[in-house]
Amino acid sequence: MGAFRVVLVHELRALLADRIVWIAALAVVLLVGYAVHVGARAAEAQRAQVTLALEEESARYADLVSAMEGVRSGAVSPSPFQDPTRPYVAGRTRGQRYAVLPASPFQATAVGQSDLIPAVVPVMLDGADPRSTREEIENPVHLLSGPLDLAFLVTFLLPLLALAISFDMLSREREQGTLALLLSQPVSARRLTVAKIAARWGLLFVLMVAATAGALVVSGAEVAADRFLLWTGVVGLYLGFWLGLAALVNVTGRDSSRNAVALAFAWLVFVVVIPAGVQISAGLLHPVPSRAELVAMEREEVRQVQEQASAVLAQYYDDHPELLPEGSVDEVDFQTRAFAVNEEVRQRLAPVRDRYRQGLESQKEWVRALRWLSPTILTYGTLLDLAGTGDARMARFESGVARFHAEWVAHFEPLIFGNRRLAPEDLSAVPEWRFVEGEAESVTLAALPGLLGLLLMAGLTMALALAFLRDGGDRRWTP
């Protein structure tokens, strides 16, 4: 152990004496600071959006109570289309609720899907679709590539830095003629390799974790200690994979220039080619209907159903005889017709929407099944899950919105067909949105496959490198 410690200290001193390492360290600190700033700003914008929506909802309901009291007292006589005591009017824009997704306590580390799925979804009788309510005008190129957040920095740029200081960890010693001198000391080739890996891993890991922790504190971002601990584990194992790969290339005995080319090619394959191939194959094997086509179809269905409103209403009463009012169907007011039209449109579009959702879910399942092909896919997905911006939390939000909308419609349907009039005290029975967060144990379980997969990949590359040396491969890279 004494010789190993001497070699380890020597490697650290050699790395710290290199001006390039200090320049790279400064670049990492600046990039991490910027990436955390981007994530923290996105999380804070989401919190502000949620707060503003809830404040607007509270103020609107206060105005709704005043308007209902005015109608009940006879002081106000609004048109039927604006009468807040009519359930259809109250169940639409005047009394709509917001389904909100609060920012995760670790969201500053990854923007993820939060820039695609809005955190505030208005729920009304007409519908509630998280994927069609975003009103901001976004650059599609930015949405496609995503922002430079911390998850992107870890998965894409950290490997480049690791390979930049590791591609010649053994070959340079060999080319300078100092490798034989090192091996003449009481240290084996395997221990020498492990020491070089450990020095580089420790330097990069401490730099990355310290820079991230400092940036999170400076930015004032909310941090969950358990998630940060899991995050450090993911970063450490991901870094270990790339350093193990660099060691595996180095022990083959090639010169530094060939090592650099081989590792650059490996980075391109694992970070770019395989993830792009998985994404493209997911789209080809599990196509999703065009969103524009879905919107155009919805507009056409609305037009056709409105032209057949009387027939639609009659059919609706045939299907729901318990809602049939006294008197002729033709005497039913516009609210009942409008509600029946909306329900008919929703039922007609249900197969298309289901196919759209099933296509998205099939694509996600395909990506999850092939994530083991690349440590980058595995790492990125795990980082998003820890940040609360991955598929699991977003899917839970979307399914919650769908259930809440069904509850909303079920509440107002009998009131509309019963031709009821609402009073201010009836608003207390209107459904309210609640988002149930996953337990801390579920977050750990969600990150566990990624941690185990990265542990296997990192261990495999290092084991192969050391096995090559154990089998006498060190003769190929010693003079």
Residue 342, both tokens: 């909306």
Given a cut of 60, whether residue 297 has pLDDT beyond it is: yes
Given a cut of 80, whether residue 473 has pLDDT beyond it is: no
pLDDT confidence of 243, banded at 50, 70, 90? very high
Residue 282, both tokens: 């997911």
Q: What is the pLDDT of residue 94?
A: 84
First to last CA, the chain: 26
Q: How far is CA 170 from the centre of its chain?
A: 39
Highest-confidence segment of 22-31, 145-154, 184-193, 250-259: 22-31
| Cα-Cα-Cα-Cα dihedral sign, residues 268, 271, 273, 276 | negative
Q: Which DSSP letter does residue 103 get? A: P
Percent of the chain scoring above 90 in pLDDT: 33
pLDDT confidence of 334, banded at 50, 70, 90? low
The larger pLDDT score, comparing residue 458 to residue 126, is at 458
CB-neighbour burial class of residue 292 (10 A; exposed 0-12, middle 13-18, buried 19+): exposed
pLDDT tens track for 185-203: 666 777 888 888 999 999 9
pLDDT confidence of 63, banded at 50, 70, 90? very high
Q: Which DSSP letter does residue 132 get? A: G
The larger pLDDT score, comparing residue 370 to residue 472, is at 370
pLDDT tens track for 216-228: 999 888 888 889 9
* Rounded CA separation 200/5 (Å): 14
Q: What is the pLDDT of residue 375?
A: 94
CB-neighbour burial class of residue 432 (10 A; exposed 0-12, middle 13-18, buried 19+): exposed
Closest CA to 338 of 364, 363, 313: 313
β-bridge mates for residue 97, sequence order:
123
The larger pLDDT score, comparing residue 138 to residue 120, is at 120
Given a cut of 50, whether residue 431 has pLDDT beyond it is: yes
Closest CA to 72 of 61, 56, 86, 51: 86
Q: What is the pLDDT of residue 47?
A: 92
pLDDT tens track for 127-145: 766 655 544 444 443 444 4
* Rounded CA separation 99/254 (Å): 59
Which residue is associated with the tokens 């337990």? 439
Around Cβ 298, how many Cβ atoms within 10 Å? 19
Please give the model's pTM, rounded to 2 decimal places.
Answer: 0.84
CB neighbour list of residue 310: distance below 8 Å, 6 or more residues apart = 329, 330, 337
